[in-house]
Chain A
Amino acid sequence: MIAARYQTAFRLYPYEKVTDQEASSAVRHPVVIIGGGPIGMGLALDLGKKGIRCLVLDDHDGVGMGSRAICFAKRTLEICDRLGCGDPMVEKGVVWNLGRVYREQEEIYNFNLLPEGGHKRPAFINLQQPYFEQFIVEQIREQQAAGAPIKIRGQNLLTKLEQKPDHILLNVDTPDGPYQIEAEYLVACDGASSPTRNMLGLGFEGRVFEDNFLIADIRMNADFPVERRFWFNPPFNPNETALMHKQPDDIWRLDFQLGWDIDRKVELDSAKISKRVSEMIGKDIEFELVWTSIYTFRCCTMKDYRHGRIFFAGDSAHQVSPFGARGANGGIQDIDNLGWKLAAVLDGGAPDALLDSYHDERKYGAIENIKNSSRSADFLTPRNAAHEMFRDAVLDLVKDFEFAQPMVNSGRLSMPCTYDASPLNSADALVGGPTRTRPGSPLSDAPLSSGYLLDHVAGQFAILAINCDAPEVFEIDGISVEVHSLSGADDSEGHLAERYLGRSGSALYLVRPDQHVAGRWPAFDADTVATAIQKAIGRE
């Protein structure tokens, strides 16, 4: 019997009996993914598109209820473009770039998260998490129809795992009883309370924040601006904070900070919530409560994201406060990082050591996310008199003095991680090159005469040769590298030069399959690039 742990919004992968369940010995799969949320499904899609056989096991058969992670960042959309599911997300999502901060009722500060042009994708879209997951699964279905080797098994519950020298043995329970399978690699994408993590007896290091936040998703027709609006000490929630965000389908996300000592049952009473909402949006506006929840949060991480043949990604590996939208966006960056490495080891002859760099790079990313989201939480939830005194001082000063604006912290919104210290990087050799595209950075998008840059560089190693000669094709040890030769003629708006050349007249970039820069030089040299590729796949 597979017990339901939560209610599903819609069924996407109902249970079906498969031949593995009848097999006389356990069938082996190259990659087994535990958990069919956005992170697990995103990884399955990435691997499947690369021709790597993968199997997703989920103990439910669809997408969980509730809008949950509603803010998807530009980098996530760029990754989803690479996976083939970015368009429906942006079409359905609510695009926003602007945030406003109020104290009581007065606006004290606003910020534009994408102050420059020349990007295909906006800073953020708001989209209910079930839609986000649905669009990934729809793309998986399309890829499966085209032959991608992805399998999804609903109502398949992992009950036990054993690490063997060259595989992992899994016990899986189903409505038809248990069966066993083997996995060469296993990726646990099974969320904050990760059963896989618990089975291995692994823990977390980090901090719990003593605060509660009430989410109320409401449906209403109102012409409030499509912006992130944040209040300190508003009259409708004195001494606390509040947040308002638009989602598709005329749904609005309202967040009310409640403090630590509350009675959850009392606060979740729908009459009480409705009263709060009316006080916030105005008593004459009609609305309907769609979904309510109270959340607390912690900022924490596992010590190691790799344990032998087992990897942890998304909330199973690390958790953050919700301020900054760094949870799902961080998790998508995890699988962006892990997908090509698993494929390179399983299929491309890369050494096992490449997989160690997943931990190196993504723990570095998680620590950055935890640092930022802890700082936001400390600003919103002062832990002592000094915290409160300086928070209030910043809010006092910001009305009159511009210098205090960057100190107002209502959430430092998710930015992609630059893997500065990565062992896969080659030292920066482009004198005068822009900081934003240094080795370790994700590519910055730029409009070219043939479309956006990021749409051209998707899924394998690539070379960008800007104002310099390079061979039309380049291959080393079975790794083929796409070569994109670009010049001023492709760059009528000058964004490419600004983002990739800086003060240099020419540049050659080596780009990883996850669109991060592995190295850059002023010109092509076959030996130098070959050495850099070896480094980028873990062959030092």
Chain B
Amino acid sequence: MGDLILTPNIPNSDDFYEALLNVHEGLDEPAMHALNARLVLILANHIGDETVLGQALDAARKAT
């Protein structure tokens, strides 16, 4: 596999963003964190490639 994609890649990113907010609807803060943690693990497994995952960890840490 290649590098982590850091240019727009979701065809309709507004739709996804709305769905991401909706899935948190009605959850208290610990439940939101738990959901996000599950989401990270699900997406990480889907990606699978250790180089890409490493680049994603770096990118997330840098962007603060």
Contact = CB atoms under 8 A, between A and B. Distances in A.
Interface of A: 389-390, 392-394, 396-397, 401, 403-404, 407
Nearest to B37: A393
B33 A389 contact: yes
Nearest to A389: B37
Interface of B: 33-34, 37-38, 40-42, 45
B34 A389 contact: yes
Contacts of B40: 390, 393
A394 B41 contact: yes
A396 B36 CA distance: 12
Given A389-B37, A396-B34, A397-B38, 10 more contacts: A389-B33, A389-B34, A390-B41, A392-B34, A393-B34, A393-B38, A397-B41, A401-B42, A403-B42, A404-B45
A394 B40 CA distance: 11
A116 to B, nearest CB: 25
A338 B34 CA distance: 48
19 contacts: A389-B33, A389-B34, A389-B37, A390-B37, A390-B40, A392-B37, A393-B34, A393-B37, A393-B40, A393-B41, A394-B41, A397-B38, A397-B41, A401-B42, A403-B42, A403-B45, A404-B41, A404-B45, A407-B41
A392 to B, nearest CB: 6
Contacts of A396: 34, 38
A375 B40 CA distance: 19
Nearest to A404: B41
B31 to A, nearest CB: 11
A360 B45 CA distance: 35
Contacts of B37: 389-390, 392-393
Task: With a 10 A CB-CB cut-off, give which of A392, A393, A397, A404 has the most chain B CB atoms.
Answer: A393
A100 B33 CA distance: 28
A392 B30 CA distance: 11
A450 B33 CA distance: 60
A396 B37 CA distance: 10
A108 to B, nearest CB: 14
B37 to A, nearest CB: 4
Nearest to B33: A389
Contacts of B42: 397, 401, 403
A393 B40 CA distance: 9
B46 to A, nearest CB: 9
Nearest to A386: B37
Task: With a 10 A CB-CB cut-off, give which of B33, B34, B40, B41 has the most chain A CB atoms.
Answer: B41
B53 to A, nearest CB: 13
Contacts of A407: 41
Nearest to A385: B33
A397 B41 CA distance: 9
Among all A-B residue pairs, the 5 with the closest Cβ atoms: A393-B37, A403-B45, A393-B38, A389-B37, A390-B37
Nearest to A407: B41
A238 B14 CA distance: 43
Contacts of B33: 389
Contacts of B38: 393, 396-397
Nearest to A392: B34
A407 B42 CA distance: 12
A389 B40 CA distance: 11
B59 to A, nearest CB: 18
A401 B39 CA distance: 12
Contacts of A397: 38, 41-42
A427 to B, nearest CB: 25
A315 to B, nearest CB: 33
Contacts of A403: 42, 45
A404 B38 CA distance: 10
A303 to B, nearest CB: 29
A397 B42 CA distance: 9
B43 to A, nearest CB: 11
A397 B34 CA distance: 11
Contacts of B41: 390, 393-394, 397, 404, 407
B36 to A, nearest CB: 8
Contacts of A390: 37, 40-41
Nearest to A394: B41
A537 to B, nearest CB: 37
Nearest to B39: A393
Contacts of B34: 389, 392-393, 396
Nearest to B35: A393
Contacts of A389: 33-34, 37
A192 B34 CA distance: 39
B55 to A, nearest CB: 19
A397 B33 CA distance: 14
B23 to A, nearest CB: 15
